[in-house]
Structure 1
Amino acid sequence: MAELSGGPFGTIATYLPGGRVRGIALRDDGLDIAVTARYGTPLPEIADRIREAVGQAAGGRPVNVRIDDLQVST
């Protein structure tokens, strides 16, 4: 993964007292995570790695991963 993404129109975000966390939205029915990925690793593998990394913190909710864009090195 390269970085978190806000998704279309910045809709993937969580609002906390100290500010806004872009790319992560905690909802009643699950956790939505949007990322920009680095080119080279298969996209399903990236999504699985993210789900594994945040699985316990999701509190049993499903983790939905969106890959919004690819970052290509030049």
Structure 2
Amino acid sequence: MMEMEPQARSTLDPFEIARAVADTVRAVPEIADLGSGRYSEAATYGPSGRVHGVVVREEPTGLLIEIHVVARYNADVDLERIAGRVRERTKEALARHAVSARVDVFIEDIV
């Protein structure tokens, strides 16, 4: 059974969180781009637009962030390792903003 870590409420709004996450994920070398969602649009909406590829929402257990990515292909591509790196970098970036969240990574394609 997976243990859930206690999650504090953020003072940042979901749109600001999504922008910070998108910037962080784009800096991961194995990521070519953010994805758009497989069956419905994966985005967070705010007053000045939307952030594609990142969904931020409050759940009963705390903040949930879904990250949809397109990975770069190489001969020894390891999707589990890539997802882990995206998750780790995202959690580090969130911690700098005093935000705690569950982070789910969806690799939609490899290019």
Q: TM-score, normalised by structure 1?
A: 0.84
Report the counterpart of residue 58 of structure 2 in structure 1. Answer: 28
Q: Which has the higher Rg, Structure 1 or Structure 2?
A: 2
More strand by share: 1
Show structure 1 runs of 4+ deviating over 6 A: none
2:46 is equivalent to residue 8 of structure 1:
no
Question: Aligned-pair RMSD on alpha carbons?
Answer: 1.6
Measured against aligned partners, the alpha-carbon deviations of 1:1-33 in whole angstroms (never above 9, x if no partner) come to 110011125521010111110000001131000
CA distance in 2, matches of 1:42, 1:9: 24
- Identity among equivalent positions (%) equals 39
Unaligned 5+ residue runs, structure 1? none
Report the counterpart of residue 49 of structure 2 in structure 1. Answer: 19
CA distance in 2, matches of 1:9, 1:20: 18
CA distance in 2, matches of 1:33, 1:42: 17
SS of equivalent residue, structure 2 residue 70? strand
